[in-house]
Amino acid sequence: MSITQPEIEHVARLARLALSDTEKELFTGQMSAILRYVETLNELDTDGIIPTAHAVPVENSFRPDAVQPSIGTDQALRNAPDRVETFFRVPPVIE
Protein backbone atom coordinates (compact mmCIF):
# COMPACT_ATOMS: atom_id res chain seq x y z
CA MET A 1 0.00 0.00 0.00
CA SER A 2 0.95 3.63 -0.35
CA ILE A 3 1.28 5.97 2.55
CA THR A 4 0.00 9.53 2.24
CA GLN A 5 1.64 12.73 3.44
CA PRO A 6 -1.00 13.32 6.17
CA GLU A 7 -0.26 9.80 7.46
CA ILE A 8 3.46 10.61 7.49
CA GLU A 9 2.69 13.74 9.51
CA HIS A 10 0.62 11.71 11.98
CA VAL A 11 3.37 9.09 12.44
CA ALA A 12 6.01 11.82 12.83
CA ARG A 13 3.91 13.35 15.60
CA LEU A 14 3.65 9.95 17.34
CA ALA A 15 7.43 9.54 17.00
CA ARG A 16 8.06 13.09 18.28
CA LEU A 17 9.94 14.01 15.13
CA ALA A 18 9.67 17.46 13.55
CA LEU A 19 10.09 16.81 9.81
CA SER A 20 10.89 19.42 7.18
CA ASP A 21 8.70 19.63 4.05
CA THR A 22 11.50 18.01 2.04
CA GLU A 23 11.74 15.13 4.51
CA LYS A 24 7.96 14.63 4.48
CA GLU A 25 7.97 14.35 0.71
CA LEU A 26 11.05 12.09 0.66
CA PHE A 27 9.76 9.75 3.39
CA THR A 28 6.30 9.51 1.80
CA GLY A 29 7.86 8.04 -1.34
CA GLN A 30 10.49 5.91 0.37
CA MET A 31 8.17 4.48 3.03
CA SER A 32 5.58 3.60 0.39
CA ALA A 33 8.24 1.62 -1.49
CA ILE A 34 9.44 -0.10 1.69
CA LEU A 35 5.89 -0.95 2.77
CA ARG A 36 5.12 -2.44 -0.66
CA TYR A 37 8.23 -4.58 -0.24
CA VAL A 38 7.46 -5.79 3.31
CA GLU A 39 3.93 -6.71 2.24
CA THR A 40 5.47 -9.72 0.45
CA LEU A 41 5.08 -11.31 3.92
CA ASN A 42 1.36 -11.58 3.14
CA GLU A 43 2.16 -14.34 0.64
CA LEU A 44 2.76 -16.58 3.68
CA ASP A 45 -0.03 -18.29 5.56
CA THR A 46 0.78 -17.72 9.22
CA ASP A 47 -2.50 -18.90 10.74
CA GLY A 48 -1.78 -20.73 13.97
CA ILE A 49 1.90 -19.76 13.99
CA ILE A 50 3.09 -18.55 17.38
CA PRO A 51 4.92 -15.21 17.08
CA THR A 52 8.58 -15.07 18.16
CA ALA A 53 9.44 -12.06 20.30
CA HIS A 54 12.74 -13.45 21.51
CA ALA A 55 14.94 -16.05 19.80
CA VAL A 56 16.31 -17.76 22.90
CA PRO A 57 13.93 -19.00 25.59
CA VAL A 58 14.69 -17.15 28.82
CA GLU A 59 12.57 -17.23 31.93
CA ASN A 60 12.01 -14.21 34.10
CA SER A 61 15.37 -13.29 35.52
CA PHE A 62 15.31 -12.43 39.19
CA ARG A 63 18.04 -11.18 41.50
CA PRO A 64 18.08 -10.58 45.25
CA ASP A 65 16.58 -7.21 46.14
CA ALA A 66 19.81 -5.92 47.68
CA VAL A 67 21.35 -2.44 47.51
CA GLN A 68 24.18 -2.28 44.94
CA PRO A 69 26.65 0.53 44.25
CA SER A 70 25.25 2.95 41.65
CA ILE A 71 26.61 5.93 39.75
CA GLY A 72 25.11 8.56 42.03
CA THR A 73 23.28 11.83 41.41
CA ASP A 74 26.18 13.91 40.10
CA GLN A 75 27.24 11.32 37.52
CA ALA A 76 23.63 10.77 36.51
CA LEU A 77 23.18 14.51 35.94
CA ARG A 78 26.55 15.07 34.33
CA ASN A 79 25.29 14.77 30.74
CA ALA A 80 22.05 16.68 31.33
CA PRO A 81 21.51 19.56 28.86
CA ASP A 82 20.06 21.64 31.71
CA ARG A 83 19.89 21.03 35.45
CA VAL A 84 19.13 22.80 38.66
CA GLU A 85 20.31 21.46 41.98
CA THR A 86 19.63 17.69 41.78
CA PHE A 87 16.98 17.96 39.07
CA PHE A 88 16.73 17.90 35.28
CA ARG A 89 15.27 21.20 34.08
CA VAL A 90 12.83 21.20 31.15
CA PRO A 91 10.78 23.85 29.33
CA PRO A 92 7.24 24.51 30.67
CA VAL A 93 4.97 21.45 30.52
CA ILE A 94 1.70 23.21 31.48
CA GLU A 95 0.70 26.52 29.90
Count of residues that bind another protein according to CB under 8 A:
54
**Element holding 87 (H helix, E strand):** strand 87-88
Compute the distance between CA of residue 27 and CA of residue 86 in angstroms, rounded to an integer: 40
CB neighbourhood size of 8 (10 A): 20
Classify 33 as helix, strand or coil: helix
Binding map of another protein across residues 16-55, x = CB under 8 A, - = no contact:
xxxxx--x--xx--xx-xxx-xxxxxxxx-x--xxxxxxx
65, 81, 85, 86: which one binds another protein (CB under 8 A):
81
88 binds another protein (CB under 8 A): yes
What is the distance between the alpha carbons of residues 58 and 35, in angstroms, rounded to a whole number?
32
**Binding stretches for another protein (CB under 8 A):** 3, 7-8, 11-12, 14-20, 23, 26-27, 30-31, 33-35, 37-44, 46, 49-56, 58, 61, 63, 71, 75-76, 78-82, 88, 90-93, 95
